[in-house]
Amino acid sequence: MQRRTLLKLGLVSGAVLALAGGAALLLQPGLVQGRLSDAGRGLFISAGRAILQGTLPQDAGAQQQALQGMADRVDALAQNLPPHVQAELSQLVGLLCTSAGRRGLAGLSSDWLDADPAQVLAALEDMRFSRLAVRQQAYQALHEIVGGAYFSDESTWPTLGYPGPVDI
């Protein structure tokens, strides 16, 4: 194969993938009317289970309740973001919830909720230390949103040793 043919093939393949990814995002947005889609909730619950290891309650029922509460607070956050930031978050969540995006961006072959926390944590760490800035940015967004949403609940403050706001 000639070099020129190989370059053309690469450009055409890239364009097809970009169009397919854009079409997938239009078909499956991460946010629907400012709220997380079901797949988006699954993404944040799975990421939360991995990122928050050691800080979540040990009891399975309490842990599930804490993760559902965290996902509810992510919903509240998304609803209060400016429209252009909502659009960016929707694109990121939508991309990570497609199998191609999950594999390409996170390197995770299983669905988010089907993967065990160790697999999700390994995928997130791979994103964190990636040479690609877009993967690092996606990791940072997930990490900050999960941490902020979880620790904004008053019941988690003792885990951090935070006594709460000081009365003035």
How would you class 77 by CB atoms within 10 Å of its CB: exposed for 0-12, middle for 13-18, buried for 19 or more? middle
pLDDT over 60 at 24, yes or no: no
How many domains does the chain divide into? 1
Residue 73: its pLDDT value, please?
Answer: 97
Residue 159: its pLDDT value, please?
Answer: 84
Is 88 within the bounds of a domain? yes
pLDDT over 90 at 5, yes or no: no
pLDDT over 80 at 164, yes or no: yes
Asked if residues 80 and 151 have their Cβ atoms less than 8 Å apart, the reply is no
Is 19 within the bounds of a domain? no
pLDDT over 80 at 2, yes or no: no
Contacting residues for 89 by C-beta, under 8 A, at least 6 apart:
30, 31, 78, 81, 141
pLDDT over 70 at 1, yes or no: no
Residue 32: its pLDDT value, please?
Answer: 87
Mean pLDDT of 36-48: 95
Mean pLDDT of 10-30: 60
pLDDT tens digit sequence for 95-147: 999 999 999 999 999 999 999 999 999 999 999 999 999 999 999 999 999 99
pLDDT over 70 at 13, yes or no: no
Mean pLDDT of 29-49: 92
Asked if residues 20 and 100 have their Cβ atoms less than 8 Å apart, the reply is yes
Q: Which domain holds residue 64?
A: 30-155
pLDDT tens digit sequence for 51-89: 999 999 999 999 999 999 999 999 999 999 999 999 999
Is 14 within the bounds of a domain? no
Is 108 within the bounds of a domain? yes
Using alpha carbons only, give the angle 143, 27, 64 rounded to the nearest 5 degrees. 40
pLDDT tens digit sequence for 79-102: 999 999 999 999 999 999 999 999
